Structure 1
Amino acid sequence: MASRPPHRVRAHGGVGQGPLRGRGQQRRLRFHDKIDLTLESLKGTVERLRQPPSTSAEVEKIKEQISENKNVSVDLERLQPVYETLKQRGKEMIARSEGADKDISAKAVQDKLDQMVLIWEDIQTLTEEREAKLLDVMKLAAKLWCSHVALAATIKDTQELIGELEGPGVDPSLVKQQQEDAEAAKDEIDGLQEELATVLSLGSDLGAACGEPDKPIVHKSIDELNSAWDALSKTRKDRADKLVEALQAAVPYQEGLQGCTSTVIKAIAQEILHQPSDVFPELLCGVLLLGSNSPGQRWVGCWSC
């Protein structure tokens, strides 16, 4: 009995399956090359997200940082088709094998798939957390700088207003009116104390939230505001002290002036009584004029009656 040609056996055995195995090997190689490149790209992205640039304390710069962070999400969306394709092909390769727990090649595929999915999810989480933080800091910065500018302007205007006020008078009634005005100004200044406390609190929060390079900017602005407030408080106190001193000096002076004027008018009146009748009216008018420009006005009016 003649035997079968050996090449036919090979045709149904090793020789026949060779091309199929070769194509399968090529697919595996292409898969690994593609997923390795993807993993390398994703790893670089996640590392950058784990060490983000320092958060700014300025609103416009924070907006730029938010935009840069959004670009990462955009890049991830562009990579989404490749990501999904790799997951699908990897699952198919594992399904054609004996399973990742028995086949070393299948396990290598599964490990890379797990790593890719984990990094992908990390990137999504980090970008979301980064954006949330930047939005919070931007809101804080906007509130601080708006309140800071408004309060600084109010302090400056109040300081200038007090500096332009008329100096303490010599008449007690005028000084008392100036004291009333100063007290009203004090109430307005005290009303700003709550605004100052709010700005200082916002400055402390922003200084803690922003990065190290921007902390000196925040601290300097708060220190300048504190200095302006201290200067305003000192100016107001100096004004109040001067008015107290002016009032203390004005009362004895006014009393002495009234006494002196009364004595002079009485002496003139006695002299008038000894003058001829034809000059009496003119002298009397002079006394009345003197009395009208002096603290003795009321006495002259009574005397003339």
Structure 2
Amino acid sequence: MHTVAVLALDHVVAADLATPIEVFGRVRLADGRRPYRVRVCAATPQVAGEAFRIIAPYGLEALREADTIMVPGCSEQAPPPGGEVLDALREAAASGTRIASICVGAFTLAAAGLLDGLRATTHWIAAGLLAERFPLVDVRPDVLYVDNGQILTSAGAAAGLDLCLHMIRRDFGSAVAADSARLLVMPLEREGGQAQFIVHAQPPVPRGSLLEPVLSWIEDNLAREVTLPDMAARCGLSERTFSRRFREQTGTTPLQWLLRARVRRAQFLLETTDHGVERIAAQAGFGSPTAFRERFKRVVGVTPQTYRSSFRSNASAG
């Protein structure tokens, strides 16, 4: 059982607090088990939000027992985090606990010194202030989240969903994360801004969208050669118009979408079959095993074999 401690500070942002509670609390493995135990903890028994008060069931001692600590953001009226909070976070980091922030929760991590020398992000409107207050932090305002391994940060509140799914992806693989995304009715796939694990399931497309048929067709034809003219023709549009509308609706290009779809297919096959690299490369539509290995490592960050070993062992753990 993986314990997630959600740290509630005074003036905590309600959406930031609720996101990890809901996302991690609803995760299911293939056999029905819940792999995460979620605990809300605070420095004081009662925590004041902007329009509510909560009674935290756990104190800061819960941080010592956690495998992951989530730090939600707080409003502008919030006082600086107390020394006992910062000390508890430093102690947890020193013991190897994974710690992640949502939105302006990055300021709390920075105040504890946990972001010094690291890349980090926060809500774009607060990025300049974060960089000004904490010059040792490499602030990246144009990404959804940053994964440094042990320490992670995310941008505005909605990006907290992306971050949580990414963490589930790291822990238990793409099938579990895809199921969680479906429960959340997540929008079209968004990129975190760096090489990252991608949920293998095709992101939902608004029903009736111009792209719905062509994206389904792409998924059904990944093993064959798929070109931009092919995709445009499926929509009855010129290549230029199709590319423009595709970017407007998905935030990426048709060919980048195709490549990510092929990587997702390969991830699924690596997790669920014993097929060799050559067969998976063909089934996912890569030109050769070499091209497959190079593209997969560039996108995912590890080789196909390392990926298979890692996520198969994680999915069976718990």
Structures share a fold, TM > 0.5?
no
Structure with more strand by fraction: 2
Rg (Cα) greater in structure: 1
Structure 1 length normalisation: TM-score?
A: 0.17
Q: Which has the higher contact order (CA 8 A, sep 6+)?
A: 1
Structure 2 length normalisation: TM-score?
A: 0.17
Structure with more helix by fraction: 1
